[in-house]
Amino acid sequence: MNYTVKRGIFYLSFGSAFLSLRRNILTKKIMQESLLIPKIEKTSEKNFPLFGELANLEHEQIVFCSRPEAGLRAIIAIHDTTLGPALGGTRMWNYKSEAEAVKDVLRLSRGMTYKAAISGLNLGGGKAVIIGDPQKDKNEHLFRAFGRFVDGLAGRYITAEDVGMTEKEMEWIFAETKYVTGIPKSLGGSGNPSPVTAYGVYMGIKAAAKQAYGSDSLAGKRVSIQGAGSVASHLARHLKSENAEIYLSDIFPEKADRLAAETGAIVVSPDDLYALNVNIFSPCALGSVVNDDTINHLNCDIIAGGANNILDEENRHGELLRQKGILYAPDYVINAGGIINIASEMEGYNEQHALEKTSRIYDTTLEIFRFADEHGITTNEASNRLAKRRIAGVGNLSNIYSSKSHFSKRMGEMYLRDRA
């Protein structure tokens, strides 16, 4: 009997040791596999202090999405949800580095907050970027995986179409989440928002002309457009209807040539565009085009375009433009037609209503110019202040008790408020 007990103890002890050894082996394996993840160089950490950027730009949340087998590397940034859920498009671009992608998504999402606020929408600001070549790296698995990540945010972020994306990709995302706009009209959506975005930019350009020249007529005005994509194409057609003199440039010359053939525009090389003697320069491609390298070459009266984050360093370059006497129409103000269009989709899409609301960009832009003149500040600072004023005003309403509550206890003295 003692022998049996001893055997039992022996076998029990052996089993425990075996399990302990197995755990150690698994732990070692996991640690070894984790070493396969590339280490971030210390220089990269110094170059891009992530949490410092989040604090400086006042973001609420940033989400990194990875699905290696699908080739998905995406970043979702939620800037501010005071006015409502964060709405902003998904951009697919072949970024040079992950740090560049993070910087872009943080700036873009902040711009969406101000864009929604200045446009009178009950929405917050967010944005997403997918790192990859939009000409080569697209597949259904990638976008459906991304849709699952969007769905996991349970409505805090609502996505839409942006640079490098088409309705086809939005349809794949829509297969996995309802938190997506800009889906094809055949599925009940509003489709490509670019035509409405371009219309808003056109309204902003006319407002800038009114401010600078005393008339919003663009007849005979020389306008250079950077980019020949969807927004630029629709904008060029509006300008042609007013008999403006149009100059075009794009990194893909064949796109510029096709648009020029349709609109009668003159094609110039990308390098020559900045110094071109024009009345209005309209960047409609990527951001940061007004920077230390280009600002001294600019030869225009007005900058008003559909690109986001046109100013590389918002405060410094905005002030330099003011000193040079160049009127800057803040990009997130005049390119807000896209978000106005997809916000209308969320309420039950009405194209005429979306266009009518987008036409108000004209008055909003003039209001910003007046505010800037009255306070002696740049136009981009004026638009930021007006946007923040609305966010603060509406945000303070949350201090007023409303009926969004569940009462508990018989006397109803204790309750839990719903949190949107």
d(CA 418, CA 420): 6
Residues present in the chain in total = 420
Helix (H, G, I), strand (E, B) or coil at 241: helix
Bridge-based pairing state of the strands 86-87 and 90-93:
unpaired
Bridge-based pairing state of the strands 222-226 and 90-93:
unpaired
User: Which of 103, 115, 127, 357 is the catalytic position?
Assistant: 127
Beta bridge partners of 159: 180
Whether 284 and 232 have beta carbons less than 8 Å apart is answered as yes
Q: Known catalytic residue: 42?
A: no
| Structure-block tokens of residue 54 | 């989040």
Within a 10 A sphere around the Cβ of 19, how many other Cβ atoms?
Answer: 10
d(CA 420, CA 406): 13
Q: Cβ neighbours of residue 339 under 8 Å, at least 6 residues apart?
A: 87, 88, 112, 115, 116, 119, 121, 123, 160, 193
Distances (CA, A) of 237 to 142, 231, 337, 343: 35, 10, 16, 25
What kind and span of H or E run contains 35? Answer: none
Q: Pick the closest to residue 338 from 195, 228, 159, 188 (CA basis).
A: 195
Q: Cβ neighbours of residue 128 under 8 Å, at least 6 residues apart?
A: 74, 75, 76, 77, 88, 89, 90, 91, 105, 146, 150, 157, 159
Q: Cβ neighbours of residue 87 under 8 Å, at least 6 residues apart?
A: 112, 116, 123, 124, 125, 126, 157, 158, 160, 181, 339, 342, 343
What kind and span of H or E run contains 166? Answer: none
Total H helices, total E strands in the chain = 16, 14
Just list the catalytic residues.
Answer: 127
